[in-house]
Amino acid sequence: MPYRLIEKKEFDKIILHNGDWEIKMQLFAEMNRYNTLVAVKKAGSGHLGSSLSSMDIITYLYLNEMNVLTVGLDSEDRDIYFSSKGHDVPGLYSLFYSLGILPAEKLLALRRLHGLDGHPEVRIPGIEASTGSLGMGISKAKGMAWAKSYKKRKGRVFVLTGDGEFQEGQIWESLQAAAHQKVNNLIAIMDHNKYQTDMLVEDVNNIEDIVEKVSAFGWYVVRIDGHNYQSLKNTFTNLKSITDQPKMVIADTIKGKGVSFMERPVTETISGKTYYKWHSGAPDDDSYLKGLNEISERIYQLSQKLGVDRIEIPENEAEGKITTKIQKEFVTDAFGDAIVELAKTNNKIVVLDGDLSADCKLRKFEYAYPHRFIENGIAEQDMVSMAGGLARMGLLPIVNTFASFLAARANEQIYNNATENSKIIYVCHFAGLIPAGPGKSHQSVRDISLFSALPNVIILQPCNGWETKKVVEFCVNEAKENCVIRLVIGPSPEVIQLPENYKFTFGVGTELTEGKDAILFGYGPVMLHEALVASYYLKEIGFGLKVVNMPWLNRINSEWLIGITRNYSAVYVLEDHSIIGGLGDRILDTLISANAINNKKFKKFGLADYPECGTPLEVLNYHRLDGKSLAMQIAEIDEIDSKLVRDLKQKYTDEAPQ
């Protein structure tokens, strides 16, 4: 196994050693930075920049300020810490390993099924709150602190936030209410590392002067260097005497601290603009080894200074995986290209983004039409209502962010816009189950249900790049109603082949395979790939499954549907979504309304529980949504002799996208 951690016993050595306190802390933190880098590299994804910038803060808190290591994780009098931003959890997991809260094998199973979730989950020892979608933490910490007071329990609540996170309205809700409610056993700490996804906070949506703002909201605020242990110590000691206000520490930090080339403001330049590139993602092999070496060197220096025995630093190699040179399809690329093309002749189009421009493939549009691109920062509700205002003025807004945030954080705003009968296009990037590494805060498997009851919204999901272009063109040029476009954010497992003569037609799907024994409707490249794999398996055992790509998730041509299902006694729907509220419910509605169900078997495959975290293969298997499991379930239902099902090689690779 090529991934090795600095072992716990080395950390114990530091704790037990009598020496300069500050150097002890710095060394402890550096050793954790090392392990964080290993864990993220092994995972293949994870957020390094914030894990590294917050490491000194959490090292300070757990080793000096909080009582949780002495009173225990179950004590009702324990101090509580958690991170509101959540994505800095690889650093926290590493710290937990060094403190004996988590075993090594878990740390080396970051973002793996039954390992450690990509964003914090309370099922993991030491994790006090599940977080991942920004802006909720101070509210939740307020509840915890209030509960402690109510139950007359000791212990303070510490919550770490990001800085871009202060673009979220809920933060200000919680600040105002906490001050009013006098929840004074609450300390928020901002990991003020100046960058959000890949740009400076001050360029995206400036939060300064943050001390002035938070003070105006009635909190006691101090601003310090978040890497200076003496400052941390003085600050938190002084805060103990502030008992009549909730408290905030603005900790100026360096994103990527500890690895020189990850430390801002080192960036990459694209089209003349500079971007921070270490917010998320595992480093390439060279950067990985270079980073480990840098940290190792500093560990060596510090251990010398401290006068402690030599710290055992393990051998670590890069796995040397040849990343495939084959260009994978990203439907988001096709989307990004399509809007640039359409904007050439349609000057009503205005594109809005919520700090996810790179992920949503909006950069091309941003460069081509800077005056038509609105970067709103991490403020989805504002973005959606702003789009409402643009639409009232006759423009055509195309609103972008991750599906879970757009559909659920800004649901009421979308409803309000829709009641005005204007037209807005909402693009739900990162729709569906995969990628599953980030965890359930990011996997969006409820969004179709969150839009379906809106009378004037058309929901679509294209199956490949070509269809994506058609979908966007339809939404922009033809649709009279609002549109929601779901896009898978990772690489398509395969490019779904559509028939030569395929015309993208309202309410009508496309047959991808022939088969007479059952029919299955699916959408999107991830699940259609699994459906096709299932059809290959079933073909091997003489069972013909017709797979139909159905990109129209809530507008179904009834005549077409009745016709295409007429001769089938079994109808399946494969959701990239919960089995509740997706395409299946609408197909069933249509068949029932037309009295066309006629004793057919009808079954939906999809999620019946929360989506799991892991690699695509792990998670598809876990939920029995991989092609083989689907084939077996379909075959079981039809009582085909399962001894005939052979283990065909999966075409799907294990390359988990970031």
**Residues in 573-592 at the binding interface with a second copy, rule: CB under 8 A:** 577-578, 580-581, 585, 588-589, 592
By the rule CB under 8 A, 599 interacts with a second copy: yes
| Among the residue ranges 19-27, 405-413, 503-511, 518-526, the one whose residues contact a second copy (CB under 8 A) | 405-413
Give the nearer residue to a second copy in terms of CB position, either 282 or 343.
343
- How near is the Cβ of 594 to a second copy at its closest, in Å? 11
Q: Which of 171, 224, 349, 475 binds a second copy (CB under 8 A)?
A: 171
- Total of chain residues touching a second copy, rule CB under 8 A: 113
Q: Which is nearer to a second copy, 537 or 622 (CB)?
A: 622
Q: Is 254 helix (H, G, I), strand (E, B) or coil?
A: coil
Site membership for a second copy, residue 413 (CB under 8 A): yes
> From residue 408, how far is each of 133, 139, 381, 449 by CA, in Å?
11, 17, 10, 10
Contacts with a second copy in 512-531 (CB under 8 A)?
Answer: none
- Name the β-bridge partners of 186: 157
Binding positions for a second copy, 181-240, rule CB under 8 A: 181, 204-207, 209, 212-213, 216-218
Residue 619 touches a second copy, criterion: CB under 8 A: no
Under a CB-based contact definition with an 8 Å cutoff, are residues 177 and 142 in contact? yes
User: Please, what is the minimum distance in Å from the beta carbon of residue 2 to a second copy?
Assistant: 33
Alpha carbons 273 and 255: distance in angstroms, whole number: 19
Please give the Cα distance from 289 to 66 (Å, whole number): 34
Report H helices in 419-524.
447-451, 465-473
The token pair that represents 148 in the structure block = 């402690």
Interface with a second copy includes 114 (CB under 8 A)? no
- Rg over CA atoms, the chain: 26
* Cα 235 → chain centroid: 33
Choice from 598, 624, 651, 653 touching a second copy (CB under 8 A)? 598
Whether 50 contacts 191, CB under 8 Å:
yes
419 binds a second copy (CB under 8 A): yes
CB 214, min distance to a second copy, A: 9
Q: Considering the rule CB under 8 A, would residue 381 count as an interface residue with a second copy? A: yes
Binding residues among 53-92 for a second copy as defined by CB under 8 A: 76
CB closer to a second copy out of 421 and 505: 421
Tokens 């339809």 belong to: 474
488 exposed, middle or buried (CB, 10 Å; 0-12, 13-18, 19+)? buried
By the rule CB under 8 A, 450 interacts with a second copy: yes
Identify any residues that bridge with 191 across adjacent strands, giving them in sequence order: 251
441: contact with a second copy by CB under 8 A: yes
Please pick, from the candidates 39, 141, 351, 434, the single residue that binds a second copy as defined by CB under 8 A.
141
Tokens of 641: 């002799």
Residue 409 interacting with a second copy (CB under 8 A): yes
Cβ of residue 213: shortest distance to a second copy, in angstroms?
A: 4
Phi, psi for 247 (deg, rounded to 5): -125, 145
Q: Which stretch binds a second copy (CB under 8 A): 333-341, 417-425, 494-502, 646-654?
A: 417-425
What angle (nearest 5°) sits at the alpha carbon of residue 97, between those of residues 95 and 103?
165
Close Cβ partners of 16 (under 8 Å, ≥ 6 residues apart): none
Residue among 59 and 554 whose Cβ is closer to a second copy: 554
Which listed residue (46, 164, 388, 462) binds a second copy by CB under 8 A?
Answer: 388
Which stretches within 369-455 are classed as H helix? 380-392, 403-404, 411-418, 447-451
